[in-house]
Structure 1
Amino acid sequence: MRQTELHLTDEDRALVDEIRSKGQHQAREVNRAHVLSSLDRGVPEAQIMAVLGVGRTAVWRTRAAYLQGGVELAVFDVARSGRPRQYGTDDEARVTALACLKPPAGRQRWTMVELERVARQEPGMANVSRETVRRMLKKTISSPGAS
């Protein structure tokens, strides 16, 4: 197997050693730090793969990321794009509080449709859907109208 040399700077080596020695990182970050450290010491890729239990592409990607952008890019996950949450924890708390209120007249407990209707009257929640209300309650392990 072809071995491409990789030499860490003294600062990068200190950062990699810090990541490897502290238990405050995710397992894949620690594995990537071990890969960089091993490559720096000239350990063959086959041995790195066997000892760390990672695949060849993980070793290659870690090396390529380091050469492209340094330790930060090689070890830590890049933030992924995604749709931001539409309703925050305050909105979830308001829906949960609504579900804890006394149900409408003639009902023993809230239905999702009724809870959705009442939640839509809250400021900033005009477009909330029944499914969103259900998911908010599921997070808090609440069931509408149960006491």
Structure 2
Amino acid sequence: VGCHPGTVGRIRKRYAEDGLAAINRREADRVYERKLDGRAEAHLIALACSEPPEGHSRWSLHLLADQLVALNEIDVESISHETVRQVLKKHGCTLIDQKRG
């Protein structure tokens, strides 16, 4: 894994000044609650594998998020495109237009 020389220098300096504890990654400041359970993830994947709505040539992350909420299949008022991206990535799904490859 390559690191920028400046990064290495900063870490070396923090280690020299404060010891091993100074270079450990700190924990996240926020704890996020999962918005989608396994059932909702399954709905999302099925939706991503279906034909896109009329007027769209393919699904986008934003379109999937909006459609998933609009279907009222899951109990959330909103979902971010980033959550959609993470779920699709976790399950190895892509949004490639199957007709064009």
Q: Same fold (TM over 0.5)?
A: yes
**Larger relative contact order (CA 8 Å, sep ≥ 6):** 2
Report the residue type matching 1:113 in the other structure.
H
CA contact under 8 A between 2:35 and 2:79: conserved in structure 1?
A: no
What's 1:103 paired with? 52
Whole-Å separation in 1 of the counterparts to 2:51 and 2:62? 15
Whole-Å separation in 2 of the counterparts to 1:83 and 1:103? 30
Whether 1:133 and 2:84 are equivalent positions in the alignment is: yes
TM-score, normalised via structure 2 length: 0.55
What's 1:93 paired with? 42
Identical amino acids, percent of aligned pairs: 32
Once the two structures are TM-superposed, the CA of residue 143 in structure 1 deviates from its matched residue by: 1.5
Would you say how many aligned residue pairs link Structure 1 and Structure 2? 66
Point out 4+ residue stretches in structure 1 off by more than 6 angstroms.
Answer: none
TM-score, normalised via structure 1 length: 0.39
**Unmatched 5+ stretches in structure 1:** 1-81
Whole-Å separation in 2 of the counterparts to 1:129 and 1:90? 17
Alignment root-mean-square deviation, CA: 1.9
Once the two structures are TM-superposed, the CA of residue 145 in structure 1 deviates from its matched residue by: 5.7
- The structure with the largest helix share of the pair is 1
Greater CA radius of gyration, 1 or 2?
A: 1
